Amino acid sequence: MLTKHPPPNLTANYELVSNQPNMAGAGNSHRYDSDWGPNCGLRVAKHPCNLGGCWHARTMAVRPTLAKVALAAGVSKSTAGNVLSGRRQMSEETARRVYEAAKQLGYRADTKASGLSRGSAPILGVLYSGYMPDLVSRRSSLYWPRFNEGIVQRCSADGTVAAFAGEQQAQALINGGVNAVLVLGQDLKHFDDLHIPFGMPIIATDPVPGRTVQFAMHEPFDVAATVIGHFVDSGRSRIGWLRGDGAANMFDPWAVALDETAADRGVEFSVAMHDLSSEQIGLAIDALMKAGVNAIFATFANSSKIAHQLRARGIRTPEDVALVVQAEGVIEEAMTPSISTLSLMSFESGAVVASYCLAEIHGTAAPTAPPPFELTVRESSRCT
């Protein structure tokens, strides 16, 4: 779940109180009904206070400014700005002092104001890992194209621009002026080399340690309860997970959830890994069949390759083994036999992720519900 750190109150609030005669009445505190006190230029709080015979001004939380960061660090405002924006390389000692001062003061760049000063709409910068285009082509996966479309549509409805860039174009995108950065994938090799303005929100589907805010994706135990429950209801008692190599931050929690849920339901559970290649998928199927499974849940794999490897071994679905594949379902619906799918509802999930990012940009409450998923039962896993 995205951890929200609400920004400090942007308005300096002041409370002016008097119990002097001819000011607020003897012995009585006075509340000004207007926003501004008489001849003082200070904002007046909307509640009374009696402090015993004196004017009193009490400041509430004031947003730390760049000037205060510079003063605390003992550098000029322009030097502090260069360090925090990442525009210029400063000495290690100077950078350390500025970052330390910014953290102590709770400084955060006002990205919303930056957009207004540019006279433009807010911009969400989306950085994607180099493996994604290859993953789409190798798996014939529709997940990421639809996921990205969900981001674009949600941002468009908000009046925010979603700008995408790969690893090589990431710095140029950031330098162009973005209000927040969304990192898709876990192998952004050059992430640590990027100059990102201090305090800019960085949101990640897979966390970059120490640099990003992470939020929960699909709830693992809900997924496990749905998949395991379907197999058990179909009369299957030995379940195998055909797990693709990759996305460990997502699938490691699934491994715990699937194993514990299978144990709770009193069924056997085993796992076989593959590297997405047709040969390795076949070997993983062999390992699961040797373990005696009568149901297979496949993730991170091309459905056509799975079906081909099952046919090549004379394994029938659902007669010999029930099959559910994590996929969007467009291709699987047209296959013979049609394949049951666990869809992570990529378009809707992309929209939810975008909502997390927009909450960071606008300083509003983030969504509390995880992205949705859907199990569609077809011929490959129906009761025989």
Least confident of 144-153, 196-205, 259-268: 196-205
Across the range 221-226, mean pLDDT stands at: 96
CA angle 108, 193, 207 (to 5 degrees): 65
Is residue 134 domain-shared with residue 229, that is, in the same domain?
no
Is residue 210 domain-shared with residue 239, that is, in the same domain?
no
Is residue 166 domain-shared with residue 235, that is, in the same domain?
no
Is residue 255 domain-shared with residue 323, that is, in the same domain?
yes
Domain-embedded: residue 361: no
Where is the domain boundary, 343, 360, 376?
343
Domain-embedded: residue 244: yes
Report whether pLDDT(207) > 50. yes
**Per-residue tokens: 83:** 């360090």
Is residue 174 domain-shared with residue 252, that is, in the same domain?
no
Of 192, 178, 170, 196, the residue nearest 86 (C-alpha): 196
Domain-embedded: residue 286: yes
How large is the angle between the packed helices 220-233 and 248-265, nearest 10 degrees? Answer: 40
Of 140, 230, 151, 228, the residue nearest 184 (C-alpha): 151
CATH number for the domain including 158? Answer: 3.40.50.2300
Domain-embedded: residue 351: no
Domain-embedded: residue 260: yes
Domain-embedded: residue 5: yes
Where is the domain boundary, 179, 214, 249?
214
The pLDDT confidence band at residue 142, using thresholds 50, 70 and 90, is confident
Across the range 118-134, mean pLDDT stands at: 75
pLDDT at 202: 85
**Domain around 135:** 119-214
Where is the domain boundary, 214, 235, 262?
214
pTM recorded for the entire structure: 0.69
Is residue 44 domain-shared with residue 149, that is, in the same domain?
no
The pLDDT confidence band at residue 74, using thresholds 50, 70 and 90, is confident
pLDDT at 248: 76
Is residue 298 domain-shared with residue 269, that is, in the same domain?
yes
Residues 6+ apart with CB under 8 A from 247: 186, 206, 300
Report whether pLDDT(5) > 50. no
pLDDT at 105: 77
Domain-embedded: residue 367: no
CA angle 369, 370, 376 (to 5 degrees): 115
Contact by Cβ (8 Å): 140, 302? yes
Of 186, 211, 172, 194, the residue nearest 131 (C-alpha): 186
Is residue 81 domain-shared with residue 160, that is, in the same domain?
no
Least confident of 20-34, 170-184, 267-281: 20-34
Is residue 45 domain-shared with residue 59, that is, in the same domain?
yes
Is residue 310 domain-shared with residue 258, that is, in the same domain?
yes
Report whether pLDDT(46) > 90. no
Counting the structural domains of the chain, the total is 4
How many beta carbons lie within 10 A of that of residue 65, not counting itself?
13
Is residue 176 domain-shared with residue 253, that is, in the same domain?
no
- The share of the chain scoring above pLDDT 90, in percent, equals 40
Burial of 314 (0-12, 13-18, 19+ CB in 10 A): exposed
Is residue 250 domain-shared with residue 155, that is, in the same domain?
no
pLDDT at 383: 79
Domain-embedded: residue 23: yes
